[in-house]
């Protein structure tokens, strides 16, 4: 029956997404290391599901740049270099600059981020930022990554362009995947992790894009310097 096949498709699609998110979290937590190989069968057995949604999830993660497909061998976690990290930061900066431009522009087609909904949305984003800052101060990388991704995803959504918001989220996931392979080796991360989330929100609430850009630029410079130091040993 059509209804049955449709429900089956929805279930499989949801399972596919759940597996992709679970594997992404495994990579971000450092439990799946760069270069680590695995097969569709191994993942399917690990999660107790059929091969089809697993294969689809792995293909999705490959398209996002988190995994690489090995012909006839399966998949392995993508190994990012410091040069990759530098490039991701540059791309990330360009996307964020495009979003901030909406605060300075009244071009037709842009969502106007000066209305009450934008202010209300910033209040919610600020709460995510406060949680991220607490995690950063405590050196809790796993909690920080979770709140940081939510912070930027929700912030990006406020600017009314879902394509930019989605692209920024993918770049931020990639940058974290690249960074964690170095950060997980540090015993105490307190004082090393970015914690200016609320400062950024406050600058945007004031429509001070000059300050917002300066905060993001300093964040990128400090992050790159830290990863370069750790990579150099």
User: What pLDDT, on a 0 to 100 scale, did the predictor assign at position 30?
Assistant: 84
Q: What per-residue confidence (pLDDT) applies to 110? A: 43
At 11 the pLDDT is 56
Q: Residue 209 is part of a domain; what is its CATH number? A: 1.20.120.530
Residues 131 and 160 in one domain: yes
Q: What's the pLDDT tens digit per position in 197-226? A: 999 999 999 989 999 999 999 999 999 999
Q: How many domains does the chain have?
A: 2
Verify that 134 and 223 share a domain, yes or no.
yes
For residue 104, the model assigns a pLDDT of 79
The last residue of a domain, from among 37, 54, 77? 77
108 and 201 share a domain? Answer: yes
**Are 122 and 155 in the same domain?**
yes
> Are 93 and 65 contained in the same domain?
no
Q: Which of 77, 92, 112 is the last residue of a domain?
A: 77
- Domain encompassing residue 110: 82-232
Residues 49 and 103 in one domain: no
- The last residue of one of the domains, among 55, 77, 99, is 77
pLDDT < 70 positions in the chain: 1-13, 106-114
What's the pLDDT score for residue 33?
87
How do 67-70 and 37-38 pair as beta strands?
Answer: unpaired
What pLDDT score was predicted for residue 109?
41
For residues 22 and 110, state if they share a domain.
Answer: no
Q: How confident is the model at residue 101, as a pLDDT?
A: 86
User: Are 86 and 151 found together in one domain?
Assistant: yes
pTM of the model as a whole: 0.85
* 56 and 169, same domain (yes or no): no
CA–CA distances in Å: residue 203 to residues 87, 173, 198, 213? 26, 24, 9, 9
Whether the CB-CB separation of 197 and 128 falls below 8 Å is answered with: yes
pLDDT in tens, 147-170: 999 999 999 999 888 998 999 999
Are 24 and 63 contained in the same domain?
yes
Query: 2-28 and 51-63 are packed helices; what angle lies between their axes, rounded to 10 degrees?
Result: 50
CATH number at residue 37: 1.10.10.10
pLDDT at res. 112: 57
Q: Are residues 23 and 127 in the same domain?
A: no
Q: Do 6 and 120 have their domain in common?
A: no
């Amino acid at each position: 029956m059509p209804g049955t096949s449709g429900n089956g498709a929805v279930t499989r699609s949801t399972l596919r997404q759940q597996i992709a998110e679970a594997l992404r979290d495994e990579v971000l937590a450092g439990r799946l290391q760069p270069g680590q190989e695995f097969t569709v069968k191994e993942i399917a057995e690990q999660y107790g599901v059929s091969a089809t949604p697993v294969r689809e999830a792995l293909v999705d993660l490959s398209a996002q740049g988190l995994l690489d497909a090995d012909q006839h061998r399966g998949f392995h976690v993508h190994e990012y270099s410091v040069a990759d990290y530098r490039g991701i930061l540059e791309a990330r900066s360009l996307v964020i600059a495009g979003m901030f431009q909406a605060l300075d522009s009244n071009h037709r087609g842009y969502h106007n981020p000066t209305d009450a909904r934008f202010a209300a949305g910033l209040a919610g984003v600020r709460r995510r930022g406060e949680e991220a800052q607490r995690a950063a101060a405590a050196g809790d990388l796993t909690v920080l990554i979770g709140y940081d991704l939510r912070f930027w995803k929700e912030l990006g959504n406020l600017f009314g362009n879902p394509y930019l918001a989605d692209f920024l989220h993918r770049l931020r996931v990639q940058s974290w995947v690249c960074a964690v392979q170095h950060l997980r080796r540090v015993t105490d991360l307190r004082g090393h992790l970015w914690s200016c989330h609320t400062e950024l929100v406050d600058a945007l609430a004031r429509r001070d894009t000059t300050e917002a850009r300066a905060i993001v630029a300093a964040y990128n410079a400090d992050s790159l310097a830290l990863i370069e130091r750790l990579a150099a040993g």
